[in-house]
């Protein structure tokens, strides 16, 4: 177990609310994003309130009431420097994770945006800027795609379908997110245009809804008595998406053993077993999850990707504005370039016998982060470009406990100084600890004891209490749409049903430089 000095013991003593706020404001500036599109530079409403909150209400809250660990700026920079992927290892297959294809990295980003989407009106934001009482319970309900529905957000829906289908953009002989004349995506959550992969995933989900809508219109018997055709399609889409989240994404992320521990299916009705995630009135988003545990996905990002047969391998991001080199990276917030439709079989196991040279895996969950993450473009990160620095600083500013303290509180194995590998040893930021734990306990294939339980309990706890989820309404429900395994439904099945990203891009289409459709 890691040892601590007398100085550390003094610093870790419980602090008063005034001391907590002073500590939180001690120069940890997160920088200012220059774009209002809510990328990684945007702090979610209500997050700042958590610093010294003693309440169990609000949009964000805490799973653990433990002494904070607030490293200095100098210490944060030391840790951040140790987290850059060593030069020359970016293409080394020894650091690949064959059990989790690369597409799950961006499915995780899409899920995060769904959970943290905020439909609050501008008036309510002014009246309750910290989301102390006026907040939206996080749910897996695809509001990032549906917005507030056809009546309140008609610009998201196709007029030709009587607002029952979601709007699809089209230009240069390929589909894209619907956009206005300034290339801004007309979607429920602008963060889903942050990079090419998540925007193509959002487009896939739009087409998934539209395909389900066609199915419902062809089979009126699929409707519940109190549903319109649109609401039937929305329920089917949401429940199948939720099944993918639990039984495909979460299973790969936390491992089957942890999934079985939190979702008990041994009885007549599946039951969620939560040991640490509790609330008084309404579920909240724990900062231990949003600021630490769920940021494991950043370590899965590859330095570069092959989008399709035509486009050469490129990095997800490059330093500097996207306008300086529109074809040099997969950065977003712009029209999809010609021939840039994704081939999903490079990111998910679309075919049974995927060529390992063709299907791209995620990187292992560990503390080696891809080089592009140390210098994000200003459209996403503003004037503080290092994602590693941002993550560590936000954890310190929100006074998260150390990883060792959380492990002790949960009764799990505590990593040693040697296992953690920090410069000069000592306490570890919770995010760093969770990444190292995955590496030490499972070789980076999935999260370890602390990280997997936090993620599993939050995912399943939120879904359990969502009054519209399948786990709340019909816990024994099984998927009904066509799939490779009856009674199951995976991300591959969803993509196949949507019909997007299945073709090989051969580069033979014309390349007119047309304006995006509005």
Q: What is the pLDDT of residue 10?
A: 35
Q: What is the CA 53 to chain-centroid distance, rounded?
A: 25
Report the pLDDT value the prediction gives residue 11, as an integer from 0 to 100: 37
| 516 inside domain | no
Query: What is residue 506's three-state secondary structure?
Result: coil
Residues 39-62: what's their mean pLDDT? 64
How far apart CA 158 and CA 339 sit, in angstroms, is: 25
- Is position 107 within any domain? yes
d(CA 271, CA 268): 9
Quote the tokens at residue 483: 């799939």
Kindly state the tokens that stand for 48: 């700042």
Domain extent at residue 284: 6-498
pTM value?
Answer: 0.88
31 neighbors 40 (Cβ within 8 angstroms):
no
**pLDDT higher than 70, residue 314:** yes
Give the 3-state DSSP-derived string for 58-85, with helices as H, strands as E and coil as C.
Answer: CCEECCCCCCCCCCCHHHHHHHHHCCEC
Please give the Cα distance from 497 to 208 (Å, whole number).
7
- Does residue 134 sit within a domain? yes
Q: Residue 205's domain is classified under what CATH number? A: 1.10.640.10
Scanning 89-195, the segments in alpha helix (DSSP H) are 103-115, 122-127, 143-146
**pLDDT value of position 372:** 82
What pLDDT shows up at residue 127? Answer: 54
CB 229, CB 217: distance < 8 Å: yes
The residue ranking higher by pLDDT, 371 or 426, is 426
pLDDT digits (tens, 9 = 90+) for 322-364: 889 999 999 999 999 999 999 999 999 997 655 666 899 999 9
Q: Does a structural domain hold residue 511?
A: no
Residue 255 in domain: yes
- pLDDT tens, residue by residue, 189-202: 999 999 999 999 99
Q: Is residue 514 part of a domain?
A: no
In a domain? residue 462: yes
DSSP conformation class of 157: B
**In this model, does residue 512 exceed pLDDT 50?**
no
pLDDT for 351 equals: 76
Report pLDDT for 282.
87
Domain count, the chain: 1
pLDDT band at 88 (very low <50, low <70, confident <90, very high): confident
53-62, 97-106, 130-139: range with lowest mean pLDDT: 130-139
Q: What is the percent of the chain with per-residue pLDDT over 90, rounded to a whole number?
A: 70
Please give the structure tokens belonging to residue 40: 């990684």
What is the mean predicted confidence (pLDDT) over 44-48? 66
Average pLDDT over residues 166-195: 96
Q: What is the pLDDT of residue 221?
A: 80
- Any domain includes 98: yes
At 320, the pLDDT band (50, 70, 90 cuts) reads confident
Please check the confidence at residue 70 and state whether its pLDDT lies above 60. Answer: yes
């Amino acid at each position: 177990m890691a040892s601590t000095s007398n100085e550390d013991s003094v610093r870790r003593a419980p602090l008063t609310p005034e001391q907590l706020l002073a500590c939180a404001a001690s120069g940890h500036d997160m920088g200012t994003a220059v774009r209002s599109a809510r990328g990684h530079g945007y702090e979610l409403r209500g997050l700042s309130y958590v610093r010294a909150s003693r309440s169990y209400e609000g949009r964000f809250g805490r799973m653990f009431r433990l002494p904070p660990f607030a490293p200095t700026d100098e210490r944060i920079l030391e840790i951040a420097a140790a987290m850059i992927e060593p030069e020359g290892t970016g293409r080394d297959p020894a650091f690949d994770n064959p059990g989790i294809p690369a597409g799950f990295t961006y499915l995780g980003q899409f899920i995060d945006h769904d959970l943290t989407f905020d439909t609050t009106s501008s008036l309510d934001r002014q009246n309750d800027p910290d989301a102390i009482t006026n907040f939206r319970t996080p749910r897996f309900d695809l509001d990032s795609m549906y917005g507030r529905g056809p009546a309140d957000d008609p610009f998201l829906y196709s007029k030709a379908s009587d607002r029952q289908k979601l709007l699809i953009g089209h230009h240069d002989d390929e589909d894209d997110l619907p956009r206005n004349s300034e290339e801004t995506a007309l979607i429920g959550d602008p963060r889903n245009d942050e990079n090419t992969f998540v925007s193509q995933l959002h487009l896939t989900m739009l087409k998934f809804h539209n395909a389900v809508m066609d199915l419902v219109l062809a089979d009126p018997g699929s409707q519940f008595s109190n549903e319109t055709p649109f609401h039937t399609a929305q329920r089917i889409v949401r429940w199948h998406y939720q099944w993918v989240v639990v039984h495909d994404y979460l299973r790969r992320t936390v491992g089957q053993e942890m999934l079985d521990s939190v979702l008990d299916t041994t009885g007549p009705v599946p039951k969620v077993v939560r040991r640490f995630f509790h609330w008084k009135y309404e579920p909240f988003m724990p900062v231990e999850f949003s600021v630490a545990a769920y940021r494991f996905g950043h370590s899965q990002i590859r330095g570069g990707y092959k989008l399709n047969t035509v486009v050469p391998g490129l990095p997800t991001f490059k330093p500097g504005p996207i306008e300086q080199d529109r074809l040099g990276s997969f950065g977003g917030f712009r029209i999809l370039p010609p021939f840039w439709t994704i081939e999903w079989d490079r990111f998910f196991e679309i075919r049974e016998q995927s060529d390992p040279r063709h299907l791209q895996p995620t990187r292992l969950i560990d503390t080696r982060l891809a080089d592009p993450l140390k210098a994000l473009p200003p459209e996403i990160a503003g004037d503080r470009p290092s994602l590693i620095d941002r993550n560590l600083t936000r954890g310190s500013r929100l006074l998260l406990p150390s990883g060792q303290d959380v492990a002790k509180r949960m009764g799990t194995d505590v990593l040693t100084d040697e296992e953690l590998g920090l410069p000069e040893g000592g306490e570890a930021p919770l995010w760093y600890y969770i990444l190292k734990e995955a590496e030490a306990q499972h070789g980076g294939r999935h999260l370890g004891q602390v990280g997997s339980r936090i993620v599993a309990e939050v995912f399943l706890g939120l879904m359990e209490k969502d009054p519209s989820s399948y786990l709340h309404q019909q816990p024994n429900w099984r998927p009904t749409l066509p799939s490779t395994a009856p009674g199951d439904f995976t991300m591959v099945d969803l993509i196949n049903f949507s019909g997007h990203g299945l073709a090989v891009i051969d580069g033979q289409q014309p390349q007119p430089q047309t304006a995006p459709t509005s």
